[in-house]
Amino acid sequence: MDTANLRARARQYLGPHFTPRRSWQQTDFPVFVRGSGCHLYDSEQRGYFDGLSGLYCANLGHGRSDIATAIGEQAKAMAYATNWSAAHPPAIEAATRIAELAPGDLQTTFFVNSGSEAVEAAVKFARQYHYTRGEPRRTKIIARDLAYHGTTLGALSVTGLDKIKAPFGPLLPGIGRVPNTVGHTGDCGDPAALDCVRAIEDRILEEGPDTVAAIIAEPVQNGRGALVPPDGYWAELRRIADRYGLLLVADEVICSFGRLGHWFGSDRFGVVPDLITFAKGVTAGYAPLGGLIVRKPLLEELSGDRRGGMFAHGATWGGHPIATAAAVATIDAIHKESILDGVRRNGPELRAGLAQLLAAHRCVKEIRGTGFFWAVELMADRLVGREFTEAESATVLGEVLPAAFARIGLILRGDDRGATMLMIAPPLIAGPSEIAELLHGVDGVLSDVESAIP
């Protein structure tokens, strides 16, 4: 396979996502051609450990014949049919399975094609729900600092990352920004007394409760590095939403379908939200699919509206037969292979290994996470308390980490959202030997950081 030709054509014709043009033009990026288990192989047959599950989506690993067979059989039987005033078996089956797995009375799934579209649907549903109830002023959304909720304009409005929002303004007005939970995890005392909780209620009162539609949060926040909330935090979100008549939206694009060792991250924290967004792991990366799950009473109230009785939202590809067939096969595999048990069993081993790396490397400031979702926060020297300079952080993220990943054959992500971090999220099929391989690679990456930064 002519890798040089493939790269040349990619540089000329293929628009990369979130990739600086200089890097795209000057770096010998891998061209992946096949996958097996926790590894991807490039056009030169070099193997890479996929330590990020693609982008938190290849939860069941690569090269699976079961999901591929389900996709092929559905494509041969019927490649496309709409869900507009009609239905088809794979969408019905996928929605039924999801209803059986979702917490509480979350029952109805509106299928879309991505996590961004799922958040977009949640924002629209929240607005239409309050409009239907005679409260059209309820359009504002409360969202957390540094939270990532997607790239479409509505989802980007809710996202709390100014760097990626700046070129696209003006965005939706009325987004009330509140602190995230960084620095708070485990037992932090009375959760209602925490600043990160009190600020939510304060912001609702500042905006005017009768103008706020919803609170949106990830069970474990990705931006700022795998923030596991303190005990009781989600119960407080539920209390606040109920007190002021808001909808509580759990953005589970990453946290659902096993990443935290549960079908849904909301189960991990014992709260039933009003809406759940999902994507990524629902098809284990084998087809694009996302969705919005809605509590039954909310949908019944909206559906009874005399002005139409429907959620006025849809998309050509929403609930595509091939994608929903992939979702059914994925859910079957998670059940059959006891994937959730594996994450709960092996997650502590991954944590313990990362803790050993923290002790061994001066450049590790902190590790955070749960299940198979982790962040390693970096600094120049933990032993003397020296943070990176701005230039050092840029060097680590832009030069040192990419070079280390390439040298070692490791797919991870350097992250600059609020700190200099290394994000780690292996496929959920990873066992002790795969975790050991991953940790060995991370050890090498950290050594390269220390060699580069005095």
2 occurs within a structural domain: no
The residues, ordered by sequence, that sit 6+ positions from 48 with a Cβ below 8 Å of its Cβ are 30, 32, 39, 40, 41, 42, 409, 410, 411
List, in sequence order, every residue forming a beta bridge with 367; answer none if it has no partner. 376
In a shared domain, residues 321 and 342: no
Domain finish residue from 336, 363, 394: 336
Candidates 69, 53, 76; CA nearest to 285 is 53
Domain finish residue from 301, 336, 371: 336
d(CA 13, CA 11): 6
pLDDT values of the chain reduced to their tens digit, one per residue, 454 residues: 899 999 999 999 999 999 999 999 988 999 999 999 999 999 999 999 999 999 999 999 999 999 999 999 999 999 999 999 999 999 999 999 999 999 999 999 999 999 999 999 999 999 999 999 999 999 999 999 999 999 999 999 999 999 999 999 999 999 999 999 999 999 999 999 999 999 999 999 999 999 999 999 999 999 999 999 999 999 999 999 999 999 999 999 999 999 999 999 999 999 999 999 999 999 999 999 999 999 999 999 887 755 567 999 999 999 999 999 999 999 999 999 999 999 999 999 999 999 999 999 999 999 999 999 999 999 999 999 999 999 999 999 999 999 999 999 999 999 999 999 999 999 999 999 999 999 999 999 999 999 999 9
Q: DSSP states of 346-404 as a string?
A: HHHHHHHHHHHHHHH-TTEEEEEEETTEEEEEE-SBTTTTBPPPHHHHHHIIIIIHHHH
225 occurs within a structural domain: yes
Candidates 372, 348, 355; CA nearest to 423 is 372
156 occurs within a structural domain: yes
CATH code, 55: 3.90.1150.10
In a shared domain, residues 342 and 390: yes
List, in sequence order, every residue forming a beta bridge with 42; answer none if it has no partner. 32
The residue range of the domain holding 370 is 31-60+338-452
390 occurs within a structural domain: yes
Domain finish residue from 305, 336, 367: 336
In a shared domain, residues 266 and 165: yes
In a shared domain, residues 177 and 85: yes
In a shared domain, residues 197 and 49: no
CB 97 within 8 A of CB 83: no
CATH code, 145: 3.40.640.10
In a shared domain, residues 92 and 48: no
Q: What angle do CA 444, 356, 412 make, to 5 degrees?
A: 40
Candidates 325, 354, 365; CA nearest to 183 is 365
25 occurs within a structural domain: no
Helix axes 65-77, 321-336, angle to 10 degrees: 150
CB 54 within 8 A of CB 61: no
In a shared domain, residues 362 and 299: no
Helix (H) or strand (E) holding 250: strand 247-251
Helix (H, G, I), strand (E, B) or coil at 298: helix
Candidates 157, 169, 162; CA nearest to 214 is 157
Candidates 119, 117, 129; CA nearest to 158 is 119
In a shared domain, residues 78 and 56: no
330 occurs within a structural domain: yes
In a shared domain, residues 178 and 321: yes
In a shared domain, residues 323 and 174: yes
d(CA 291, CA 313): 12
Q: Is this structure's pTM higher than 0.95?
A: yes
Domain count, the chain: 2
In a shared domain, residues 367 and 391: yes
d(CA 380, CA 392): 8
Candidates 187, 183, 261; CA nearest to 219 is 261
In a shared domain, residues 359 and 259: no
